[in-house]
A and B are shown apart, each in its own frame.
Chain A
Amino acid sequence: MVQRVWALSLVTCKEGIRDRSLYGIFLFALFVLGLNVAVAGFFMRDLGKVTVDMNLAALSFAGLLLVFFIGINLMAKDIDKKTIHLVLSKPFSRGEYIWGKYFGLLLVVLFAQVIVLLFSCATVACVHAMYPGYFTSFSWPVFFIAAFFIYLQQALLCAIVVFFSSITSTSFITLIFSMASYIVGISLEEVVFYLRTQAATEEVVASATLHHTLEVVTWLVPNFAAFDFKIEAAHGLALEWSRLWTSCGYGVLYICILLVLASLIFKRREFN
Protein backbone atom coordinates (compact mmCIF):
# COMPACT_ATOMS: atom_id res chain seq x y z
CA MET A 1 0.00 0.00 0.00
CA VAL A 2 2.77 2.43 0.93
CA GLN A 3 4.50 1.76 -2.35
CA ARG A 4 1.36 2.59 -4.30
CA VAL A 5 0.70 5.77 -2.37
CA TRP A 6 4.33 6.80 -2.76
CA ALA A 7 4.23 6.05 -6.52
CA LEU A 8 1.23 8.34 -6.97
CA SER A 9 2.79 11.05 -4.77
CA LEU A 10 5.93 10.98 -6.87
CA VAL A 11 4.00 11.27 -10.10
CA THR A 12 1.83 14.11 -8.75
CA CYS A 13 4.92 15.90 -7.46
CA LYS A 14 6.67 15.67 -10.82
CA GLU A 15 3.55 16.94 -12.58
CA GLY A 16 3.38 19.88 -10.24
CA ILE A 17 7.04 20.82 -10.34
CA ARG A 18 7.33 20.63 -14.08
CA ASP A 19 4.34 22.91 -14.48
CA ARG A 20 5.55 26.22 -15.85
CA SER A 21 3.27 28.13 -13.48
CA LEU A 22 5.77 27.35 -10.74
CA TYR A 23 8.22 29.74 -12.37
CA GLY A 24 5.70 32.56 -12.06
CA ILE A 25 5.41 31.94 -8.37
CA PHE A 26 9.19 31.96 -7.97
CA LEU A 27 9.43 35.21 -9.88
CA PHE A 28 6.87 36.70 -7.54
CA ALA A 29 8.80 35.54 -4.49
CA LEU A 30 12.03 36.92 -5.93
CA PHE A 31 10.32 40.22 -6.55
CA VAL A 32 9.16 40.48 -2.96
CA LEU A 33 12.60 39.62 -1.66
CA GLY A 34 14.22 42.21 -3.90
CA LEU A 35 11.70 44.73 -2.65
CA ASN A 36 12.72 43.81 0.85
CA VAL A 37 16.34 44.73 0.26
CA ALA A 38 15.35 47.97 -1.44
CA VAL A 39 12.79 49.08 1.13
CA ALA A 40 14.68 48.17 4.28
CA GLY A 41 16.39 51.52 4.38
CA PHE A 42 13.12 53.42 4.70
CA PHE A 43 12.63 52.26 8.23
CA MET A 44 14.24 53.69 11.28
CA ARG A 45 15.51 51.03 13.59
CA ASP A 46 13.63 47.77 13.52
CA LEU A 47 15.03 46.54 10.22
CA GLY A 48 15.22 42.98 11.46
CA LYS A 49 11.48 43.01 12.04
CA VAL A 50 10.67 44.47 8.63
CA THR A 51 12.94 42.00 6.86
CA VAL A 52 11.38 39.05 8.63
CA ASP A 53 7.88 40.41 7.95
CA MET A 54 8.49 40.64 4.24
CA ASN A 55 10.30 37.33 3.95
CA LEU A 56 7.68 35.35 5.80
CA ALA A 57 4.96 37.12 3.83
CA ALA A 58 6.68 36.09 0.58
CA LEU A 59 6.97 32.51 1.81
CA SER A 60 3.38 32.39 2.95
CA PHE A 61 1.86 34.08 -0.06
CA ALA A 62 3.86 32.04 -2.57
CA GLY A 63 2.61 28.93 -0.82
CA LEU A 64 -0.97 30.20 -0.96
CA LEU A 65 -0.75 30.86 -4.68
CA LEU A 66 0.77 27.45 -5.18
CA VAL A 67 -1.94 25.61 -3.28
CA PHE A 68 -4.84 27.53 -4.73
CA PHE A 69 -3.80 27.38 -8.33
CA ILE A 70 -1.41 24.56 -8.97
CA GLY A 71 -2.77 22.36 -6.19
CA ILE A 72 -6.38 22.63 -7.29
CA ASN A 73 -5.33 22.13 -10.89
CA LEU A 74 -3.47 18.95 -10.02
CA MET A 75 -6.60 17.56 -8.39
CA ALA A 76 -9.11 18.70 -10.97
CA LYS A 77 -7.12 17.84 -14.06
CA ASP A 78 -7.15 14.16 -13.23
CA ILE A 79 -10.92 14.05 -13.24
CA ASP A 80 -11.44 16.49 -16.10
CA LYS A 81 -9.11 14.72 -18.48
CA LYS A 82 -10.11 11.26 -17.24
CA THR A 83 -6.58 10.40 -16.23
CA ILE A 84 -8.17 9.14 -13.04
CA HIS A 85 -9.67 6.27 -15.00
CA LEU A 86 -6.18 5.15 -15.85
CA VAL A 87 -4.95 5.51 -12.30
CA LEU A 88 -7.92 3.70 -10.80
CA SER A 89 -7.52 0.85 -13.28
CA LYS A 90 -4.42 -0.03 -11.33
CA PRO A 91 -5.01 -1.61 -7.91
CA PHE A 92 -5.51 1.75 -6.12
CA SER A 93 -8.20 1.96 -3.54
CA ARG A 94 -10.03 5.30 -3.46
CA GLY A 95 -8.44 6.09 -0.14
CA GLU A 96 -4.95 5.36 -1.46
CA TYR A 97 -5.65 7.71 -4.34
CA ILE A 98 -6.56 10.54 -1.99
CA TRP A 99 -3.53 10.07 0.24
CA GLY A 100 -1.26 9.67 -2.80
CA LYS A 101 -2.46 12.92 -4.36
CA TYR A 102 -2.23 14.68 -1.01
CA PHE A 103 1.37 13.69 -0.37
CA GLY A 104 2.19 14.65 -3.95
CA LEU A 105 0.79 18.14 -3.28
CA LEU A 106 2.78 18.30 -0.05
CA LEU A 107 5.96 17.50 -1.92
CA VAL A 108 5.35 20.20 -4.52
CA VAL A 109 4.69 22.78 -1.81
CA LEU A 110 7.73 21.60 0.14
CA PHE A 111 9.93 21.98 -2.92
CA ALA A 112 8.71 25.51 -3.60
CA GLN A 113 8.90 26.56 0.06
CA VAL A 114 12.44 25.29 0.43
CA ILE A 115 13.58 27.27 -2.59
CA VAL A 116 11.85 30.45 -1.44
CA LEU A 117 13.26 29.89 2.06
CA LEU A 118 16.78 29.65 0.66
CA PHE A 119 16.33 32.94 -1.15
CA SER A 120 14.84 34.32 2.02
CA CYS A 121 17.88 33.40 4.08
CA ALA A 122 20.08 35.02 1.47
CA THR A 123 18.00 38.20 1.67
CA VAL A 124 18.15 38.28 5.46
CA ALA A 125 21.90 37.79 5.36
CA CYS A 126 22.15 40.53 2.74
CA VAL A 127 20.13 43.09 4.70
CA HIS A 128 21.98 42.12 7.86
CA ALA A 129 25.25 42.83 6.11
CA MET A 130 23.98 46.16 4.83
CA TYR A 131 22.67 47.38 8.19
CA PRO A 132 24.46 45.39 10.86
CA GLY A 133 23.46 47.53 13.80
CA TYR A 134 19.73 47.09 13.41
CA PHE A 135 19.30 43.35 13.78
CA THR A 136 19.34 43.24 17.54
CA SER A 137 16.33 41.03 18.09
CA PHE A 138 16.62 38.64 15.15
CA SER A 139 16.82 34.95 15.90
CA TRP A 140 17.42 32.25 13.27
CA PRO A 141 15.78 29.40 15.23
CA VAL A 142 12.53 31.34 15.69
CA PHE A 143 12.64 32.34 12.03
CA PHE A 144 12.87 28.70 10.96
CA ILE A 145 10.14 27.66 13.37
CA ALA A 146 7.87 30.31 11.86
CA ALA A 147 8.77 29.02 8.36
CA PHE A 148 7.94 25.46 9.44
CA PHE A 149 4.55 26.49 10.71
CA ILE A 150 3.86 28.39 7.52
CA TYR A 151 4.51 25.07 5.77
CA LEU A 152 2.11 23.35 8.16
CA GLN A 153 -0.48 25.96 7.29
CA GLN A 154 -0.01 25.18 3.60
CA ALA A 155 -0.29 21.46 4.37
CA LEU A 156 -3.61 22.17 6.06
CA LEU A 157 -4.75 24.14 3.03
CA CYS A 158 -3.75 21.27 0.75
CA ALA A 159 -5.92 18.96 2.84
CA ILE A 160 -8.83 21.39 2.48
CA VAL A 161 -8.27 21.52 -1.28
CA VAL A 162 -8.19 17.70 -1.52
CA PHE A 163 -11.33 17.49 0.60
CA PHE A 164 -13.33 19.87 -1.56
CA SER A 165 -11.96 18.28 -4.73
CA SER A 166 -13.34 14.96 -3.57
CA ILE A 167 -16.81 16.48 -3.39
CA THR A 168 -16.94 18.51 -6.58
CA SER A 169 -15.19 18.22 -9.91
CA THR A 170 -15.40 21.87 -10.89
CA SER A 171 -12.08 23.48 -10.06
CA PHE A 172 -13.70 26.88 -9.66
CA ILE A 173 -16.04 25.69 -6.91
CA THR A 174 -13.13 24.02 -5.15
CA LEU A 175 -11.21 27.30 -5.39
CA ILE A 176 -14.06 29.36 -3.94
CA PHE A 177 -14.67 26.99 -1.04
CA SER A 178 -10.98 26.62 -0.26
CA MET A 179 -10.43 30.38 -0.31
CA ALA A 180 -13.49 30.89 1.85
CA SER A 181 -12.21 28.32 4.35
CA TYR A 182 -8.86 30.07 4.43
CA ILE A 183 -10.34 33.51 4.99
CA VAL A 184 -12.65 32.23 7.71
CA GLY A 185 -9.79 30.31 9.33
CA ILE A 186 -7.52 33.34 9.35
CA SER A 187 -10.07 35.80 10.71
CA LEU A 188 -11.79 33.40 13.08
CA GLU A 189 -9.71 34.18 16.13
CA GLU A 190 -9.98 37.94 15.78
CA VAL A 191 -13.74 37.84 15.31
CA VAL A 192 -14.36 35.47 18.20
CA PHE A 193 -12.23 37.42 20.67
CA TYR A 194 -13.58 40.75 19.50
CA LEU A 195 -17.13 39.56 20.13
CA ARG A 196 -16.16 38.15 23.50
CA THR A 197 -14.62 41.44 24.65
CA GLN A 198 -17.58 43.37 23.30
CA ALA A 199 -19.97 41.04 25.05
CA ALA A 200 -18.05 41.56 28.27
CA THR A 201 -18.26 45.33 27.99
CA GLU A 202 -21.75 45.06 26.50
CA GLU A 203 -20.96 47.48 23.76
CA VAL A 204 -22.18 45.35 20.95
CA VAL A 205 -25.24 43.25 21.53
CA ALA A 206 -24.66 39.96 19.75
CA SER A 207 -27.42 37.42 19.78
CA ALA A 208 -26.98 34.01 21.33
CA THR A 209 -27.45 32.44 17.88
CA LEU A 210 -24.40 34.31 16.60
CA HIS A 211 -22.31 33.04 19.49
CA HIS A 212 -23.49 29.47 18.97
CA THR A 213 -22.87 29.66 15.23
CA LEU A 214 -19.37 30.96 15.82
CA GLU A 215 -18.77 28.20 18.34
CA VAL A 216 -19.73 25.61 15.73
CA VAL A 217 -17.55 27.29 13.13
CA THR A 218 -14.53 27.17 15.42
CA TRP A 219 -14.96 23.42 15.65
CA LEU A 220 -15.35 22.95 11.90
CA VAL A 221 -12.78 25.36 10.49
CA PRO A 222 -9.17 25.23 11.69
CA ASN A 223 -7.88 28.27 13.52
CA PHE A 224 -5.03 29.36 11.27
CA ALA A 225 -3.82 31.86 13.85
CA ALA A 226 -2.47 28.93 15.87
CA PHE A 227 0.15 28.44 13.16
CA ASP A 228 1.06 32.10 12.88
CA PHE A 229 4.42 32.78 14.48
CA LYS A 230 5.31 35.69 12.23
CA ILE A 231 5.22 38.35 14.95
CA GLU A 232 7.33 36.18 17.25
CA ALA A 233 9.86 35.65 14.47
CA ALA A 234 9.89 39.36 13.61
CA HIS A 235 10.85 40.29 17.16
CA GLY A 236 12.81 37.18 18.10
CA LEU A 237 10.44 36.42 20.97
CA ALA A 238 10.85 33.22 22.94
CA LEU A 239 8.51 30.33 22.19
CA GLU A 240 7.26 27.67 24.59
CA TRP A 241 7.50 24.06 23.53
CA SER A 242 3.97 23.34 24.78
CA ARG A 243 2.59 25.87 22.36
CA LEU A 244 4.55 24.43 19.46
CA TRP A 245 3.52 20.86 20.20
CA THR A 246 -0.16 21.79 20.59
CA SER A 247 -0.26 23.69 17.31
CA CYS A 248 1.57 20.90 15.50
CA GLY A 249 -0.72 18.22 16.88
CA TYR A 250 -3.82 20.27 16.15
CA GLY A 251 -2.76 20.73 12.54
CA VAL A 252 -1.75 17.14 11.89
CA LEU A 253 -4.89 15.73 13.47
CA TYR A 254 -7.15 18.03 11.50
CA ILE A 255 -5.39 17.02 8.29
CA CYS A 256 -5.85 13.32 9.07
CA ILE A 257 -9.55 13.71 9.86
CA LEU A 258 -10.14 15.72 6.70
CA LEU A 259 -8.35 13.21 4.49
CA VAL A 260 -10.22 10.26 5.98
CA LEU A 261 -13.49 12.09 5.32
CA ALA A 262 -12.32 12.82 1.78
CA SER A 263 -11.54 9.12 1.26
CA LEU A 264 -15.01 8.15 2.46
CA ILE A 265 -16.66 10.64 0.13
CA PHE A 266 -14.44 9.58 -2.74
CA LYS A 267 -15.42 5.93 -2.28
CA ARG A 268 -18.97 6.87 -3.16
CA ARG A 269 -18.09 8.80 -6.28
CA GLU A 270 -18.64 7.59 -9.81
CA PHE A 271 -16.45 8.50 -12.71
CA ASN A 272 -18.06 8.99 -16.04
Chain B
Amino acid sequence: MMPQRGKGLWLVVVLLLPFYAYLHMGSWTQRAELRQAPTTSFLVPSQFSRVLACGYKGLLADFQFLRVLTFYGDRSANQQPLSTQDWDYFRDSIDVLTDLDPYFYDPYVLTEGLLTWDAGRFEDANTLLAKGARYRRNDWRLPYFIGFNNFFFLKDYAAGAEHIMAASRLPDSPSYLPTLAARLAYYGGKSQTAVLFLKQMLAENSDERLAKRLQLRLSALERAALIEAALQRFRHEKQRDVENVKELVTAGYVQQLPEDPYGGQWRILPNGRVFSTSKFVQGKKE
Protein backbone atom coordinates (compact mmCIF):
# COMPACT_ATOMS: atom_id res chain seq x y z
CA MET B 1 0.00 0.00 0.00
CA MET B 2 2.68 2.53 1.01
CA PRO B 3 4.77 2.52 -2.20
CA GLN B 4 1.61 3.05 -4.24
CA ARG B 5 0.61 6.09 -2.22
CA GLY B 6 4.12 7.41 -2.53
CA LYS B 7 3.96 7.10 -6.31
CA GLY B 8 0.67 8.96 -6.31
CA LEU B 9 2.22 11.93 -4.53
CA TRP B 10 5.13 12.08 -6.95
CA LEU B 11 2.66 12.14 -9.80
CA VAL B 12 0.92 15.11 -8.19
CA VAL B 13 4.19 17.01 -8.01
CA VAL B 14 5.02 16.24 -11.64
CA LEU B 15 1.58 17.42 -12.76
CA LEU B 16 1.89 20.66 -10.82
CA LEU B 17 5.26 21.61 -12.28
CA PRO B 18 4.11 22.81 -15.74
CA PHE B 19 1.56 25.11 -14.10
CA TYR B 20 4.27 26.52 -11.94
CA ALA B 21 6.52 27.02 -14.97
CA TYR B 22 3.77 28.85 -16.82
CA LEU B 23 2.94 31.13 -13.92
CA HIS B 24 6.62 31.72 -13.22
CA MET B 25 7.26 33.00 -16.72
CA GLY B 26 4.05 35.01 -16.67
CA SER B 27 4.94 36.68 -13.41
CA TRP B 28 8.41 37.68 -14.56
CA THR B 29 7.11 39.03 -17.87
CA GLN B 30 4.56 41.11 -15.99
CA ARG B 31 7.23 42.51 -13.73
CA ALA B 32 9.44 43.39 -16.70
CA GLU B 33 6.58 45.34 -18.28
CA LEU B 34 5.75 47.04 -15.02
CA ARG B 35 9.28 48.26 -14.66
CA GLN B 36 9.16 49.91 -18.09
CA ALA B 37 6.16 51.96 -17.11
CA PRO B 38 6.67 55.53 -15.88
CA THR B 39 8.20 55.61 -12.47
CA THR B 40 5.67 54.55 -9.93
CA SER B 41 8.15 53.52 -7.25
CA PHE B 42 7.70 55.26 -3.99
CA LEU B 43 10.78 56.67 -2.40
CA VAL B 44 10.98 56.71 1.37
CA PRO B 45 12.03 60.20 2.45
CA SER B 46 15.42 60.54 4.18
CA GLN B 47 14.18 61.07 7.71
CA PHE B 48 12.22 57.85 7.62
CA SER B 49 14.71 55.71 5.80
CA ARG B 50 17.33 56.77 8.32
CA VAL B 51 15.11 55.38 11.06
CA LEU B 52 13.98 52.36 9.08
CA ALA B 53 17.57 51.39 8.33
CA CYS B 54 17.83 50.21 11.95
CA GLY B 55 21.51 50.92 12.12
CA TYR B 56 22.36 49.60 8.66
CA LYS B 57 22.39 52.98 6.90
CA GLY B 58 25.51 52.23 4.89
CA LEU B 59 24.12 48.96 3.63
CA LEU B 60 20.77 50.50 2.79
CA ALA B 61 22.58 53.21 0.85
CA ASP B 62 24.43 50.52 -1.12
CA PHE B 63 21.17 48.77 -1.86
CA GLN B 64 19.49 52.00 -2.95
CA PHE B 65 22.42 52.76 -5.19
CA LEU B 66 22.07 49.39 -6.90
CA ARG B 67 18.41 50.17 -7.42
CA VAL B 68 19.23 53.47 -9.07
CA LEU B 69 21.81 51.77 -11.30
CA THR B 70 19.30 49.11 -12.28
CA PHE B 71 16.65 51.73 -12.89
CA TYR B 72 18.88 53.63 -15.28
CA GLY B 73 20.15 50.40 -16.81
CA ASP B 74 16.60 49.19 -17.46
CA ARG B 75 15.77 52.36 -19.31
CA SER B 76 18.88 52.45 -21.42
CA ALA B 77 18.70 48.71 -22.18
CA ASN B 78 15.24 49.30 -23.60
CA GLN B 79 16.43 52.43 -25.41
CA GLN B 80 13.88 54.41 -23.49
CA PRO B 81 14.70 58.04 -22.92
CA LEU B 82 14.12 59.18 -19.38
CA SER B 83 11.23 61.52 -18.79
CA THR B 84 11.23 64.46 -16.41
CA GLN B 85 9.53 62.24 -13.87
CA ASP B 86 12.26 59.64 -14.26
CA TRP B 87 14.98 62.20 -13.73
CA ASP B 88 13.14 63.55 -10.66
CA TYR B 89 13.11 60.04 -9.27
CA PHE B 90 16.77 59.62 -10.11
CA ARG B 91 17.73 62.84 -8.40
CA ASP B 92 15.57 62.13 -5.34
CA SER B 93 16.97 58.60 -5.02
CA ILE B 94 20.52 59.90 -5.04
CA ASP B 95 19.48 62.57 -2.55
CA VAL B 96 18.02 60.03 -0.14
CA LEU B 97 20.88 57.62 -0.41
CA THR B 98 23.48 60.30 0.12
CA ASP B 99 21.53 61.36 3.20
CA LEU B 100 21.94 57.82 4.45
CA ASP B 101 25.66 57.77 3.74
CA PRO B 102 27.04 61.10 2.58
CA TYR B 103 30.55 59.72 2.32
CA PHE B 104 29.57 57.25 -0.40
CA TYR B 105 31.50 58.32 -3.49
CA ASP B 106 29.85 56.33 -6.28
CA PRO B 107 26.52 58.22 -6.34
CA TYR B 108 28.38 61.49 -6.85
CA VAL B 109 30.20 60.04 -9.84
CA LEU B 110 26.92 58.82 -11.27
CA THR B 111 25.37 62.24 -10.69
CA GLU B 112 28.22 63.97 -12.47
CA GLY B 113 28.01 61.47 -15.30
CA LEU B 114 24.28 61.41 -15.89
CA LEU B 115 22.43 64.26 -14.27
CA THR B 116 24.53 66.81 -16.12
CA TRP B 117 25.20 65.32 -19.55
CA ASP B 118 21.95 63.40 -20.02
CA ALA B 119 19.40 65.24 -18.00
CA GLY B 120 20.74 68.73 -18.16
CA ARG B 121 19.97 69.31 -14.49
CA PHE B 122 23.05 71.25 -13.61
CA GLU B 123 21.86 72.98 -10.44
CA ASP B 124 20.47 69.72 -9.04
CA ALA B 125 23.79 68.02 -9.73
CA ASN B 126 25.67 70.84 -8.03
CA THR B 127 23.43 70.67 -4.94
CA LEU B 128 24.11 66.97 -4.58
CA LEU B 129 27.82 67.39 -5.18
CA ALA B 130 27.94 70.20 -2.61
CA LYS B 131 26.54 67.81 0.00
CA GLY B 132 29.31 65.39 -0.83
CA ALA B 133 31.92 68.13 -0.63
CA ARG B 134 30.75 69.03 2.89
CA TYR B 135 31.46 65.51 4.13
CA ARG B 136 34.29 64.31 1.91
CA ARG B 137 36.40 67.27 2.90
CA ASN B 138 39.65 65.83 1.64
CA ASP B 139 38.33 64.74 -1.72
CA TRP B 140 39.43 67.20 -4.42
CA ARG B 141 37.22 65.60 -7.06
CA LEU B 142 33.91 66.92 -5.70
CA PRO B 143 34.65 70.65 -5.82
CA TYR B 144 36.36 69.91 -9.14
CA PHE B 145 33.13 68.48 -10.53
CA ILE B 146 31.17 71.47 -9.26
CA GLY B 147 33.69 73.78 -10.85
CA PHE B 148 33.46 71.88 -14.10
CA ASN B 149 29.69 72.12 -14.13
CA ASN B 150 29.81 75.83 -13.47
CA PHE B 151 32.27 76.37 -16.27
CA PHE B 152 31.00 73.97 -18.84
CA PHE B 153 27.26 73.98 -18.43
CA LEU B 154 26.27 76.97 -16.39
CA LYS B 155 28.80 79.33 -17.98
CA ASP B 156 29.49 80.81 -14.56
CA TYR B 157 33.24 81.18 -15.00
CA ALA B 158 33.84 83.02 -11.75
CA ALA B 159 32.15 80.36 -9.65
CA GLY B 160 33.92 77.70 -11.68
CA ALA B 161 37.28 79.24 -10.96
CA GLU B 162 36.46 79.50 -7.26
CA HIS B 163 35.62 75.83 -6.99
CA ILE B 164 38.63 74.70 -8.96
CA MET B 165 40.84 76.77 -6.66
CA ALA B 166 39.18 75.12 -3.64
CA ALA B 167 39.86 71.73 -5.21
CA SER B 168 43.48 72.60 -5.83
CA ARG B 169 44.00 73.23 -2.12
CA LEU B 170 42.94 69.68 -1.18
CA PRO B 171 45.44 66.82 -0.85
CA ASP B 172 46.44 64.75 -3.91
CA SER B 173 44.87 67.22 -6.32
CA PRO B 174 46.51 67.35 -9.74
CA SER B 175 49.17 70.00 -10.17
CA TYR B 176 47.56 71.71 -13.13
CA LEU B 177 44.51 72.81 -11.12
CA PRO B 178 45.76 76.23 -10.06
CA THR B 179 46.69 76.99 -13.65
CA LEU B 180 43.31 75.82 -14.81
CA ALA B 181 41.60 78.02 -12.27
CA ALA B 182 43.60 80.96 -13.44
CA ARG B 183 42.76 80.26 -17.08
CA LEU B 184 39.09 80.01 -16.25
CA ALA B 185 39.15 83.26 -14.45
CA TYR B 186 40.90 84.95 -17.36
CA TYR B 187 39.87 83.27 -20.56
CA GLY B 188 36.41 82.14 -19.61
CA GLY B 189 34.79 79.88 -22.15
CA LYS B 190 37.41 79.20 -24.82
CA SER B 191 37.28 75.70 -26.27
CA GLN B 192 40.94 75.02 -25.48
CA THR B 193 40.19 75.37 -21.78
CA ALA B 194 37.37 72.92 -22.07
CA VAL B 195 39.58 70.48 -23.95
CA LEU B 196 42.11 70.53 -21.12
CA PHE B 197 39.36 69.94 -18.60
CA LEU B 198 37.92 67.05 -20.49
CA LYS B 199 41.29 65.38 -21.02
CA GLN B 200 41.80 65.39 -17.27
CA MET B 201 38.34 64.07 -16.58
CA LEU B 202 39.01 61.19 -18.94
CA ALA B 203 42.31 60.40 -17.24
CA GLU B 204 40.62 60.23 -13.82
CA ASN B 205 37.56 58.38 -14.95
CA SER B 206 37.04 54.64 -14.97
CA ASP B 207 33.33 54.43 -15.72
CA GLU B 208 32.70 53.32 -19.29
CA ARG B 209 29.45 55.17 -19.74
CA LEU B 210 30.96 58.46 -18.72
CA ALA B 211 34.15 57.74 -20.68
CA LYS B 212 32.29 57.44 -23.98
CA ARG B 213 30.53 60.74 -23.48
CA LEU B 214 33.66 62.51 -22.45
CA GLN B 215 35.58 61.09 -25.42
CA LEU B 216 32.93 62.19 -27.87
CA ARG B 217 32.76 65.67 -26.45
CA LEU B 218 36.50 65.86 -26.34
CA SER B 219 36.94 65.07 -30.00
CA ALA B 220 34.20 67.56 -30.88
CA LEU B 221 35.86 70.27 -28.85
CA GLU B 222 39.32 69.45 -30.12
CA ARG B 223 38.08 69.89 -33.63
CA ALA B 224 36.27 73.07 -32.66
CA ALA B 225 39.47 74.28 -31.03
CA LEU B 226 41.38 73.50 -34.23
CA ILE B 227 38.96 75.57 -36.21
CA GLU B 228 39.02 78.34 -33.62
CA ALA B 229 42.80 78.52 -33.83
CA ALA B 230 42.65 78.66 -37.61
CA LEU B 231 40.00 81.38 -37.37
CA GLN B 232 42.25 83.43 -35.12
CA ARG B 233 45.16 83.11 -37.50
CA PHE B 234 42.91 84.12 -40.43
CA ARG B 235 41.60 87.18 -38.61
CA HIS B 236 45.08 88.17 -37.54
CA GLU B 237 46.50 87.90 -41.06
CA LYS B 238 43.57 88.92 -43.19
CA GLN B 239 42.25 91.54 -40.73
CA ARG B 240 38.71 90.38 -41.34
CA ASP B 241 36.31 87.57 -40.33
CA VAL B 242 35.59 84.58 -42.53
CA GLU B 243 32.31 84.35 -44.41
CA ASN B 244 31.82 80.72 -43.56
CA VAL B 245 33.79 77.83 -42.30
CA LYS B 246 34.62 76.51 -45.75
CA GLU B 247 36.64 79.61 -46.51
CA LEU B 248 39.23 78.36 -44.05
CA VAL B 249 39.83 75.34 -46.27
CA THR B 250 39.96 77.26 -49.52
CA ALA B 251 42.29 79.84 -47.95
CA GLY B 252 44.55 77.06 -46.85
CA TYR B 253 44.39 77.62 -43.08
CA VAL B 254 42.95 74.17 -42.55
CA GLN B 255 43.77 71.18 -44.72
CA GLN B 256 40.43 69.53 -44.32
CA LEU B 257 37.39 70.45 -42.25
CA PRO B 258 37.06 67.94 -39.48
CA GLU B 259 33.64 66.45 -39.02
CA ASP B 260 31.45 67.14 -36.03
CA PRO B 261 31.25 63.77 -34.27
CA TYR B 262 27.74 64.64 -33.20
CA GLY B 263 26.79 64.91 -36.85
CA GLY B 264 26.08 68.62 -37.06
CA GLN B 265 27.38 71.45 -39.20
CA TRP B 266 29.95 73.90 -37.89
CA ARG B 267 28.76 77.41 -37.20
CA ILE B 268 30.79 80.42 -36.25
CA LEU B 269 29.39 82.53 -33.48
CA PRO B 270 29.69 86.32 -33.44
CA ASN B 271 32.28 86.25 -30.64
CA GLY B 272 34.56 84.07 -32.73
CA ARG B 273 33.73 80.80 -31.05
CA VAL B 274 33.00 77.72 -33.09
CA PHE B 275 29.79 75.90 -32.41
CA SER B 276 27.74 73.25 -34.16
CA THR B 277 24.16 72.76 -35.22
CA SER B 278 24.26 69.57 -33.24
CA LYS B 279 24.85 71.68 -30.13
CA PHE B 280 27.22 68.87 -29.09
CA VAL B 281 24.32 66.76 -27.99
CA GLN B 282 23.84 63.27 -29.26
CA GLY B 283 20.95 62.53 -31.55
CA LYS B 284 20.06 66.02 -32.64
CA LYS B 285 20.41 66.67 -36.33
CA GLU B 286 19.21 69.66 -38.20
The yes or no verdict on A and B being binding partners is yes
Residues of A within 8 A of B104 (CB): 46, 49
- Complex Cα gap A191–B58 (Å): 18
Q: Are B56 and A57 in contact (CB under 8 A)?
A: yes
Q: Is A206 an interface residue (CB 8 A)?
A: no
Query: B66 an interface residue at 8 Å Cβ cutoff?
Result: yes
Contacts of A60 in B (CB 8 A): 55-56
CB interface residues, A 45-70, toward B, < 8 Å: 45-46, 49-50, 52-54, 56-57, 60
Compute how far the CA of A45 lies from the CA of B57 in the bound complex, rounded to whole angstroms.
Answer: 19
Residue of B nearest to A134 (CB): B206
B103 A234 Cβ-Cβ under 8 A: yes
Q: Are B47 and A194 in contact (CB under 8 A)?
A: yes
Chain B residues with CB below 8 A from A44, complex form: 106, 109-110, 206-207
Cβ contact of A225, chosen from B55, B58, B59, B206, cutoff 8 A: B55
Whether B59 pairs with A54 at a CB distance below 8 angstroms is: yes
Tell me how many residues of A have a C-beta within 8 Å of chain B: 27
B275 at the interface (CB under 8 A from A): no
Chain A, interface SS category = helix
B105 at the interface (CB under 8 A from A): yes
Shortest A228–chain B CB gap in Å is 6
Chain A residues, CB < 8 A from B58: 49, 52-53, 56, 230-231, 234
Known: A42-B66, A186-B55. A237 touches B103 (CB 8 A): yes
Residue from the list A53, A183, A235 in contact with B62, Cβ < 8 A: A53
Instruction: Say yes or no: A191 contacts B69, CB within 8 Å.
Output: no
B196 within 8 A of A: no
In this complex, how many residues of chain B approach chain A with their Cβ under 8 Å: the count is: 23
From B105, which residue of chain A is reached at the shortest CB distance?
A46
How many whole Å from A173's CB to the nearest CB in chain B?
22
A224–B55 CB distance below 8 A: yes
Whether, in the assembled complex, A187 has its beta carbon less than 8 Å from a beta carbon of chain B, the answer is yes
Q: Are B54 and A186 in contact (CB under 8 A)?
A: yes
Taking a contact as CB atoms under 8 Å apart, the answer to whether A43 and B47 are in contact is no
**CB <8 Å contact, B54 and A183:** yes
Interface string of A66-99 (1 = CB under 8 A from B): 0000000000000000000000000000000000
Does A19 sit within 8 A of B, measured CB to CB? no
Interface set, chain B 35-52, CB cutoff 8 A to A: 47, 50-51
Which residues from chain B sit less than 8 Å from chain A, CB to CB?
47, 50-51, 54-59, 61-62, 65-66, 69, 101, 103-106, 109-110, 206-207
Which residues from chain A sit less than 8 Å from chain B, CB to CB?
Answer: 42-46, 49-50, 52-54, 56-57, 60, 183, 186-187, 190-191, 194, 224-225, 228, 230-231, 234-235, 237
Shortest 3 CB-CB contacts between residues of A and residues of B: A53-B58, A235-B103, A44-B106
